[in-house]
Amino acid sequence: MNTKEIEGILQRYYDGETSLAEEKLLKEFFSGGDVPPQLRLHQPLFRFFTMEASETISEDNQDEILIRKLEQYKRETSSVVKSHPGKKRLYYLSGIAAGLLIMLGLIFAIKNETLKRHHDEAVRTSTELAFLETRQALLMVSVGLNTGLDAVQHFTTLDNAIGQVHKFNKFNIYQTQFINPEWMQTPSINK
Amino acid sequence: MNLQDFNIKIYPLKDKIFRFAKRMLEQTEEAEDIVQEVFIRMWKQREKLDEYRSLEALAMVTTKNLCLDKLKARKFPVESWNGQRQFIEAIAEEIRPDYSDIIAGVKEAMSSLPEQPRMIIHLRDIEGYGFDEIAEILGMQENAVRVALSRARKHIREILITNRSYEYQRN
């Protein structure tokens, strides 16, 4: 692999146009000992990549970490399971309670409002009402009075009757005059 | 999927997951935690695993999401602690004989990349994934992956050039 070719690949490498195979070739080239001076600038980059790719996780404390993680999970899940039903029920109950409170409040408010409106109306029409009441009372009185008048009507009948009787009386007087014994005894006409 | 399948198909991914997580979190311990977390998550949905086209892609997606969550949770308060951790790890890396200053410079350049291009360059240049696989893991268009990869590579090249000029000045 000559320097010219490598330079060409490098150019395309920095432009992001190389294939994985070409990049592997670059890594191999720069890990070798004989890199021409004009290309040495890029050497640490590819050496770094090669070296980093071989880094592995240390197995020493992996089990320890895993156990710690699992215990953490167990704690989390168990606490979730334990607290779940009670918490859920509490949520529902608080929701229901809040709903009831809102409904009660609304009912109370509406009731209050309508009562107030009625009261206002009553005050507004109280003079009218007083007038109506008075008229009602007066009407009642007048009706009562009329029933009294009916009774009074009988007096007129009695009066008539008395008038009749009076006539009769007049007749009687006339009769007594007519059957005056004096007249009987002495016919005044003939006199 | 039973335990045997799990051991054959998913357990061998442990190093890939570890490297990916470590690239993101830049911290060995947290990366080890992520590996176990990914295994547990995969095991929990073992009934559904047969529906997936690529278990490896699924494992990598899970790793990516867990790492991003962890990075988001980290943001400020742990910063100083994390700095210390990085310092200790840097010392450990220095002890490795084949880890020259210049290679450490590449690592630093990688760290300076934002999360997405860092993931892309890791998946491509270290793990050797195809563009289609990377697009699937990161939920991107293939073309966007290509463009971001090119930009990330050039960014690292810039840093390497700057580092070299410093070195010339020093010598």
Q: What is d(CA A119, CA A141) in angstroms, rounded to the nearest whole number? A: 30
pLDDT in tens, chain B (171 residues): 788 888 888 888 999 999 999 999 988 888 999 999 999 899 888 888 888 888 899 999 999 999 999 988 876 655 555 666 666 666 666 555 555 666 778 888 898 899 999 999 999 999 999 999 999 999 999 999 999 999 999 999 999 888 877 766 766
Q: Specify the range with the lowest mean pLDDT, choosing from A35-44, A50-59, A178-187, B12-21.
A: A178-187
**Candidate from B32, B40, B107 with C-beta closest to A62:** B32
Express each pLDDT in A144-180 by its tens digit.
Answer: 777 767 667 777 777 887 877 777 777 777 777 666 6
Q: Which residues contact B157 (CB under 8 A, 6 or more apart)?
A: A14, A41, A42, A45
What CATH number is associated with residue B155? 1.10.10.10
The pLDDT score that the predictor gives to residue A132 is 85
Number of domains in chain B: 2
User: Under an 8 A CB cutoff, do B35 and A73 touch?
Assistant: no
Q: Please indicate if any CB of chain A lies within 8 Å of the CB of B48.
A: no
Domain, as residue range, for B1: 1-97
- Answer for the pair B138, B145: CB distance below 8 angstroms, yes or no: yes
Residues of chain A found within 8 Å of residue B126, distances taken between Cβ atoms: 49, 52-53
**Same domain, yes or no: A77 and A113:** yes
Count each helix (H run) and each strand (E run) in chain A, helices first: 6, 0
User: Under an 8 A CB cutoff, do B127 and A55 touch?
Assistant: no
**Same domain, yes or no: A15 and A44:** yes
Domain, as residue range, for A77: 69-124
Q: Calculate how close chain B gets to A107, using CA atoms only, in Å.
A: 49
**Same domain, yes or no: B123 and B90:** no
Inside any domain, residue A169: no
**Same domain, yes or no: A118 and A85:** yes
Residues of chain B found within 8 Å of residue A48, distances taken between Cβ atoms: 103, 106-107, 110
Residues of chain B found within 8 Å of residue A24, distances taken between Cβ atoms: 128
Comparing alpha-carbon positions, the chain A residue that sits nearest to B39 is A66
Number of domains in chain A: 2
Q: Calculate how close chain A gets to B149, using CA atoms only, in Å.
A: 6
Residues of chain B found within 8 Å of residue A61, distances taken between Cβ atoms: 32
**Same domain, yes or no: B114 and B58:** no
**Same domain, yes or no: B148 and B159:** yes
- Answer for the pair A20, A49: CB distance below 8 angstroms, yes or no: no
**Same domain, yes or no: B1 and B80:** yes
**Same domain, yes or no: A44 and A7:** yes
**Same domain, yes or no: B79 and B123:** no
